[in-house]
């Protein structure tokens, strides 16, 4: 499996497809597998590069120092390692904050940036939610309890019209061999507690924002309060996991915007 040694971590990443490079940055608690719904829709148009952020997936060690700035540096180092001077980027949730940080640090390398269900804001309610989920994981509750508490925050409510689909999603999550541990989840939470987003709202590269109307974790009004000056699209009926709820729309919007800003 491909890994990049950066000095303090071994950064795991996957490369799929052909075409101009597209760096895909996962959100909090997620790794490269987060992009499973989008890869088949994009791999004929882009070389899709999906790293496991610090503390997640197959990147080791799980307890290396973690911050938005460090994950930005990891992403820039990875793209240099792969020989890409310029590229497109999409970031979901925390990955969107990393992408905005990259646009600040190395905008000349960013052909286009796509911010999905994200904004450079810190919401204390979310920190409390994640801390509660960690506490559930460490309790004597059944192993699936914390996932069943998390999923309503992530997905469109329509998912719950099919209870067997929810059960399957829980089973798939529990069976995933590279799932983030509770300790790693708590460690990664420090990155969200510690970043300063005040300088990230004005990226110096072409940037579009993708918003789900039913996003509970980063609600539309919070996103628009800081990013409404950027080109944005509001996807009806999509929740926080916007690329799972509306993968075709996200892929179409990404392809169209990237085509306007070729490498």
Q: What's the pLDDT score for residue 41?
A: 98
Which residues in the chain come in under a pLDDT of 50? none
How does pLDDT run across 131-170, given as a tens digit for each residue? Answer: 999 999 999 999 999 999 999 999 999 999 999 999 999 9
**d(C-alpha 255, C-alpha 190), whole Å:** 33
Establish how many alpha carbons lie within 13 A of residue 103's alpha carbon, considering only the half-sphere containing its beta carbon. 27
DSSP annotation of 181: P
**d(C-alpha 189, C-alpha 67), whole Å:** 9
CATH of the domain at 34: 3.40.50.1820
**d(C-alpha 198, C-alpha 116), whole Å:** 19
Token readout for 38 is: 């989008």
Q: Which domain holds residue 89?
A: 3-260
> What is the domain count for the chain?
1
How does pLDDT run across 56-80, given as a tens digit for each residue? Answer: 999 999 999 999 999 999 999 999 9
pTM > 0.95: yes
């Amino acid at each position: 499996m491909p890994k990049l040694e950066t000095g303090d971590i071994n950064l795991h990443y996957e490369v799929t497809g052909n075409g101009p490079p597209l760096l895909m940055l996962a959100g909090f608690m997620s790794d490269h597998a987060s992009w499973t719904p989008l890869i088949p829709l994009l791999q004929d148009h882009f070389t899709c590069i999906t790293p496991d952020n610090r503390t997640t997936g197959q990147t080791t060690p799980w307890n290396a120092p973690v911050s938005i700035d460090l994950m930005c540096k990891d992403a820039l180092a990875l793209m240099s390692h792969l020989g890409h001077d310029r590229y497109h980027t999409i970031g979901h949730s925390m990955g969107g904050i990393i992408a905005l940080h990259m646009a600040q640090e190395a905008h000349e390398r960013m052909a286009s940036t796509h911010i999905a269900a994200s904004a450079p804001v810190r919401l204390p309610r979310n920190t409390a939610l994640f801390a509660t989920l960690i506490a559930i994981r460490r309790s004597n509750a059944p192993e699936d309890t914390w996932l069943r508490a998390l999923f309503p925050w992530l997905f469109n409510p329509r998912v719950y019209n099919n209870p067997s689909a929810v059960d399957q999603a829980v089973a798939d999550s529990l069976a995933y061999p590279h799932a983030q541990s509770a300790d790693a989840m708590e460690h990664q939470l420090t990155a969200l507690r510690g970043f300063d987003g005040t300088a990230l709202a004005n990226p110096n590269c072409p940037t579009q924002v993708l918003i789900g109307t039913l996003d509970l974790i980063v609600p539309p009004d919070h996103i628009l309060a800081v990013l409404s000056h950027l080109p944005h699209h509001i996807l009806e009926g999509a929740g926080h996991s916007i690329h799972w709820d509306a993968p075709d729309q996200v892929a179409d919007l990404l392809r169209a915007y990237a085509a306007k800003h070729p490498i």
